[in-house]
Chain A
Amino acid sequence: QQQVKQSPQSLIVQKGGISIINCAYENTAFDYFPWYQQFPGKGPALLIAIRPDVSEKKEGRFTISFNKSAKQFSLHIMDSQPGDSATYFCAAGFTSGTYKYIFGTGTRLKVLA
């Protein structure tokens, strides 16, 4: 019930292409779904987040698509750039009550120049 499953484990995309990372959750009580970006040797940083009352959120080249009925959400990176090469983590959490997050296992993205 507390798992967040993330795929793929690794992804290679050509510059200018679209990168897509998928996550699935089990607990329908989750109501906050952030994506974090991590560069080697650094801590993760919040990239974009969504709540289940909307189906899509876009910030620049990054878009989250959310499917509440399927309990899935995905990150789309449009016009992928070599500087986007990093590890991406999805997560699920709550906007009230417990402060805990459940993280996915991460996707290592490499964008080829």
Chain B
Amino acid sequence: DGGITQSPKYLFRKEGQNVTLSCEQNLNHDAMYWYRQDPGQGLRLIYYSQIVNDFQKGDIAEGYSVSREKKESFPLTVTSAQKNPTAFYLCASSMRASGANVLTFGAGSRLTVL
């Protein structure tokens, strides 16, 4: 079955540590995204990538970094510079179909900073 796999599902981190969240898709989608979800704030875009080896900052990129070395993979690193990293992180991918950009989401990774 095609889809997006995020890992780990739950992650605990001590303050000052970097952590990397994995996102892999087998949908052959060109674009991939990272969103952060906090209660009452909806989905906020962290980074997105439209093609391999290229990515753009979203609305809340500070304290995060990404890479896009392969079409299938778009890992997100939450660095120690991110002041409030505890959140639910969602990876998504998309392929334009019939003029629409339909997002497919993974199941998410919940990061808790201790």
Q: Which residues of A contact B (CB under 8 A)?
A: 6, 9, 32, 34, 36, 41-46, 49, 51, 89, 93-96, 99-101, 103-106
- Given A32-B100, A44-B90, A100-B45: A105 and B106 within 8 A (CB)? no
Q: Nearest Cβ in chain B — how far from A95, in angstroms?
A: 4
- Asked if B40 and A93 make an inter-chain contact with CB atoms under 8 angstroms apart, the answer reads no
- Classify the interface of chain A: helix, strand, loop or mixed: loop
Among residues of A, the one whose C-beta sits closest to the C-beta of B4 is A43
Q: Which residues of A contact B107 (CB under 8 A)?
A: 41-43
- Classify the interface of chain B: helix, strand, loop or mixed: strand
Please report the C-alpha to C-alpha distance between residue A6 and residue B41 in the assembled complex, in whole angstroms: 11
- Asked if B99 and A43 make an inter-chain contact with CB atoms under 8 angstroms apart, the answer reads no
- Given A99-B94, A101-B45, A105-B41: A34 and B102 within 8 A (CB)? yes
With A34-B102, A43-B108, A101-B45 given, can you name 17 additional A-B contacts, CB distance below 8 Å? A36-B105, A41-B107, A43-B6, A43-B92, A43-B107, A44-B43, A44-B90, A49-B102, A89-B43, A93-B101, A95-B96, A99-B101, A100-B45, A100-B58, A103-B43, A103-B44, A106-B42
